[in-house]
Amino acid sequence: MTLADLLRVAELLPADASLTLTKALLLGLLAGAQAPSADLTVRDVAERLHRAPSTVAREVGHNSTDMIDRVYGHLGTVRHRGKQVEYRVAQHRKALGARLRET
């Protein structure tokens, strides 16, 4: 069985049906699959599977992509971390606004 075969089987199932795969079968199906070169977003997965992003979000247990984007959307961004905690006013000038007293 290939991933294409599994997709054809899944498309024949009723909308509310479930499909259980053993770990061995899943690993066998994925053995020849090439891993993506970068992290995938919900939209990327939806596009690759020819599904709506909301469908993919529901499949992973969410009502929409909002929470997924908010929680996981920042992954892959590397922030500078120093050994000491630094508070630089210049970085927060806009947020501080009127509370910032010019010296």
| Cα separations in angstroms, 49 against 55, 56, 77, 101 | 10, 9, 26, 54
User: What is the number of domains present in the chain?
Assistant: 2
35-72 residue pLDDT tens: 666 677 788 888 888 888 888 888 888 888 887 777 77
Q: Cα angle at 98 between 100 and 93, to 5 degrees?
A: 50
Query: Quick check: 96 and 89 in contact, CB under 8 A?
Result: yes
Residue 76's pLDDT is what? 63
pLDDT at 19: 82
Examine the domain organization and report whether 44 and 13 are in the same domain. no
Residue labelled with tokens 């090439």: 34
- 42/21 same-domain check: no
Looking at the fold, whether 25 and 8 belong to one and the same domain comes out as: yes
Residues 47 and 74 in one domain: yes
Residue 54 lies in a domain: yes
Other CB atoms within 10 Å distance of the CB of residue 6: 15
Domain of 11, in residue numbers: 1-35
Instruction: Give the predicted TM-score (pTM) of the model.
Output: 0.36
Q: Is residue 63 located within the same domain as residue 74?
A: yes
Does 84 fall in a domain? no
